Amino acid sequence: MIRDDLLAAEPDSRILGEELSPDGADTRGLVWVVDPLDGTTNFLHGYPCWAVSIGAVVDGDVVAGTVFNVPAHRRYTAWLGGGAWCGPDRIRVSAVTNPGQALLGTGFPFKTPDDAPAYLEQMRRILPATAGVRRAGSAAIDLASVAAGHFDGFWELTLAPWDKAAGIVLIREAGGVVTDLAGNLATAEHGGIVAGNPVMHEWLMGMVRRWRRGSCRPERSEGPAWSP
């Protein structure tokens, strides 16, 4: 239904999505990056945290997106230069700058078990340094929660384009920062993500960069020298 509606409105566009064309799409022109059900396991178990996520990518750049948190009936929307919104209300990232007062979101590397040692070391350092870490099971909702200021930051080692495309533009238009694990601007491609308000993003990058993926050995970091 989503595919039919989008292509009816923009016949020359293409669709990229796990259930639609998971092997990739030409990034030229307008590409809709769609997850019709983010949080499938939650949905199947009746846990009320799942969403529909749609991002609009033009020539490789995410320019608009929407995340509909269905159980909560909250629709988050953003477009390049137009701000970020929850329904009729403008949203902004949080103003928290003290990690000890920060609530973070995350996603477990359940599809990439080789990343577990590095992830557990990140968690070991991050958890006692913050007010808490949550894993709800829907990256789209987590990223929207960063944009709305409910989470002060978020990180995950591996996400698909349809998990994060809409969330990227939501956070940026809400005044936040969202990058890959190396600190480059995040794009709608497979890979890790670090997001937050500007201060918390910098702190979280410093914590995450200390550990290489697939290894428990510390990695030299240029990030801030915060310590639990």
171-179 average pLDDT score: 98
Q: What angle do CA 145, 180, 15 make, to 5 degrees?
A: 75
Structure confidence at residue 144 (pLDDT): 98
Structure confidence at residue 169 (pLDDT): 98
Structure confidence at residue 93 (pLDDT): 98
126-142 average pLDDT score: 97
Check pLDDT > 60 for residue 228. no
For residue 22, name the pLDDT band (cuts at 50, 70, 90).
Answer: low
DSSP calls for the chain: -HHHHHHHH-TT-EEEETTT-TT----SSEEEEEEEEE-HHHHHHT-S--EEEEEEEETTEEEEEEEEETTTTEEEEEETTTEEEETTEE--------GGG-EEEE---TT-GGGHHHHHHHHHHHGGGSSEEE--S-HHHHHHHHHTTSSSEEEEEEE-HHHHHHHHHHHHHTT-EEE-TTSSBP-SSSEEEEEESHHHHHHHHHHHTTB-TT--SB----S-----
Structure confidence at residue 150 (pLDDT): 98
pLDDT digits (tens, 9 = 90+) for 30-80: 999 999 999 999 999 999 999 999 999 999 999 999 999 999 999 999 999
| CATH of segment(s) 99-208 | 3.40.190.80
- In the chain, where are the structural domains located? 2-90, 99-208
For residue 14, name the pLDDT band (cuts at 50, 70, 90).
Answer: very high
Assign a CATH topology to domain 2-90: Fructose-1,6-Bisphosphatase; Chain A, domain 1 (3.30.540)
Check pLDDT > 50 for residue 218. no
Structure confidence at residue 227 (pLDDT): 37
Contact 146, 93 (CB under 8 A): yes
